[in-house]
């Protein structure tokens, strides 16, 4: 019996990940705030897959609760996927420190706190996998979302270091960099259809990449080329652009 812990389980991508992992024989811990709202999803997964699904109340910003949360899981998870994310409007972040802090707290600080605990356990047992959902926004700072982007850049750097550290212990770490995804978080944005992925497609991409023990995943795949181009625009030109 192998459990996967999905943190930030109320997001659209997380729900699809829950379905994909259960379909492939994993039991689930679904963790998040006000998690009982996922009763319907949990029951549906149980009926369709006959896998165990447990809902776990968890606040990624409540750092002091993280160790007790992990200690209280009766069966420690084989894998952990951090999907938690928060994206406030850039202009609001520029004038509202709490918005900026919440962005950093959810996307980076809280994620590092819980993953430090889990990574220590996996390293000791020389087993497990970690998946962190970062973003292409972290590949280069842009004026339209640099508070959010910088928190994701920090998370990507953290996951890279964690991957380097845990490699000798047989623990895989996957950094996921989605581009545009049609979710509740982006529903007010005018996104280009051909560059926008659906949550179920992202979930399948993540599962396949994790099973192959890949290091970094761009999804849709075209975003790897797009970001390669963006990262190589000279700074003297880039700073004048609005992209």
Per-residue pLDDT tens for 134-154? 999 999 999 999 999 999 999
Residue 8 gets the label, from left (phi > 0), alpha (psi -120 to 50) or beta, of left
Which residues, other chains included, contact 222 with Cβ-Cβ below 8 Å and sequence gap of 6+? 179, 195
Count the Cβ atoms, other than its own, within 10 Å of residue 49: 19
**Which residues partner with 176 through β-bridges?**
133, 217
Distance between CA 224 and CA 216 in Å, rounded?
Answer: 10
Asked if residue 118 has pLDDT above 80, the reply is yes
Query: How far is it, in rounded angstroms, from Cα 20 to Cα 235?
Result: 41
Is residue 188 within 8 Å of 100, Cβ to Cβ? Answer: no
So what's the pLDDT on residue 192? Answer: 83
Tell me the pLDDT tens digit for each residue of 155-206.
999 999 999 999 999 999 999 999 999 987 777 677 888 899 999 999 999 9
pLDDT higher than 90, residue 243: no
Instruction: Please state the CATH superfamily assignment of the domain spanning residues 3-238 in this structure.
Output: NAD(P)-binding Rossmann-like Domain (3.40.50.720)
Distance, in Å, from the CA atom of 196 to the CA atom of 8, rounded to the nearest integer, reads 21
Count the Cβ atoms, other than its own, within 10 Å of residue 34. 9
With a cut of 90, say whether residue 1 has pLDDT above it. no
**pLDDT digits 0-9 by tens, 11-48:** 999 999 999 999 999 999 999 999 999 999 999 999 99
Query: 143 is written with which tokens?
Result: 């004026």
Chain segment 52-81, per-residue pLDDT in tens = 999 999 999 999 999 999 999 999 999 999
Residue 216 has pLDDT above 80, yes or no: yes
Share of the chain above pLDDT 70, in %: 98
């Amino acid at each position: 019996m192998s459990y996967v812990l999905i943190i930030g389980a109320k997001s659209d991508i997380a729900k699809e990940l829950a379905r994909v992992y259960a379909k492939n024989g994993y039991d689930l811990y679904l963790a998040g705030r006000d998690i009982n709202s996922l009763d319907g999803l949990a029951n549906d997964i149980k009926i369709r897959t006959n896998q165990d699904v447990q809902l776990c109340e968890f606040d990624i910003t409540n750092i002091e609760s993280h160790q007790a949360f992990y200690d209280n899981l009766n069966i420690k998870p084989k894998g952990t996927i951090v999907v938690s994310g928060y994206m406030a409007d850039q202009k609001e972040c520029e004038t509202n420190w709490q918005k900026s802090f919440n962005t950093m707290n959810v996307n980076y600080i809280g994620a590092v706190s819980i993953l430090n605990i889990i990574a220590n356990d996996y390293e000791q047992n020389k087993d497990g996998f970690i998946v962190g959902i970062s973003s292409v926004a972290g590949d280069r700072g842009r004026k339209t979302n640099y508070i959010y982007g910088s928190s994701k850049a920090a998370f990507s750097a953290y996951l890279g270091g964690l991957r380097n550290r845990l490699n000798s212990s047989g623990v895989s770490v996957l950094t996921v960099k989605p581009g545009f995804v049609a979710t509740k978080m982006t529903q007010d944005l005018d996104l280009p259809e051909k560059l926008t992925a659906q949550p179920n497609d992202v979930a399948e991409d993540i599962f396949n990449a994790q099973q192959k023990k890949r290091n970094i995943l761009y999804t849709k795949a075209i975003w790897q080329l797009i970001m390669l181009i963006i990262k190589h625009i000279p700074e003297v030109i880039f700073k004048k652009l609005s992209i």
